[in-house]
Amino acid sequence: MGNFSFDKIFRVFEEVTDFILLNFIWIGCTLLGVVIFGVAPSTVALLSVMRDKIMKKEKYGVVKSFWSTYKREFKKSNIIGIILMILMLMVTINIMNFEAQNGTFFTVLYGVSTLAKLLIIGMSLYIFPLYVHYDMSFKEYFMKGLQLLIMRPFVTVCIAIWTFIMYLGVMLIPGLIPFLTISVYLYGIMAINYQFFMKNEDRLKSTSANSDI
């Protein structure tokens, strides 16, 4: 019993250490890519490691797994990341311009642009987990990400609640930002998406099996 408890404590300590290490690696590799070219591959690499943790399929150390994925997916993930950044920049500029104008027409455009910005942010929280879990075309990632955001409100609400919880955590303990915030947040995002992916795949398998009967 004592050994069992000690093993559990050691495992928890090991997991916390992994999360702290991954948080620093994410920050470091993001800076390595001068932020603009580093944030997307760093996010994909971290989500990939978290997916392995969730699936309990860790084959290598977290550092080796992260770095291997970062290098392998650097170019492809940056295409998605840059597209999202360009969309965000365009919408943000529109919001600033419309906000400075008077009149009902510009107020409506401001509201539409703000909604578009929220959709892009929400869509990105689906696109990168999709990228890690499925092999699809660039167009499919964006189309599927938008579809999931709109057509799967329960999953979207779960992501929103998790985001709010993390926001409260950062506000209460801002010192956690360099140690755990990114890794813990992305673990939650991957876990929520992964559960949906699995249930959806099971449903599709069940539907296919029934159609064969």
Q: Tens of pLDDT along 95-137?
A: 999 988 888 999 999 999 999 999 999 999 999 999 999 999 9
Q: What is the pLDDT of residue 71?
A: 96
Q: What is the pLDDT of residue 187?
A: 97
Measuring CA to CA, which residue among 78, 83, 66 is closest to residue 34? Answer: 78
Whole-model pTM: value is: 0.90
For 29, 44, 107, 203, the CA distances from 80, given in Å and listed in that order, are 17, 11, 31, 29
Q: What is the pLDDT of residue 213?
A: 43
Spans of the chain, pLDDT less than 50: 213
Handedness of CA 8, 10, 16, 21 (dihedral sign): negative
Buried b / exposed e along 12-25 (16+ C-beta atoms within 10 A):
eeeeeebbbbbbeb
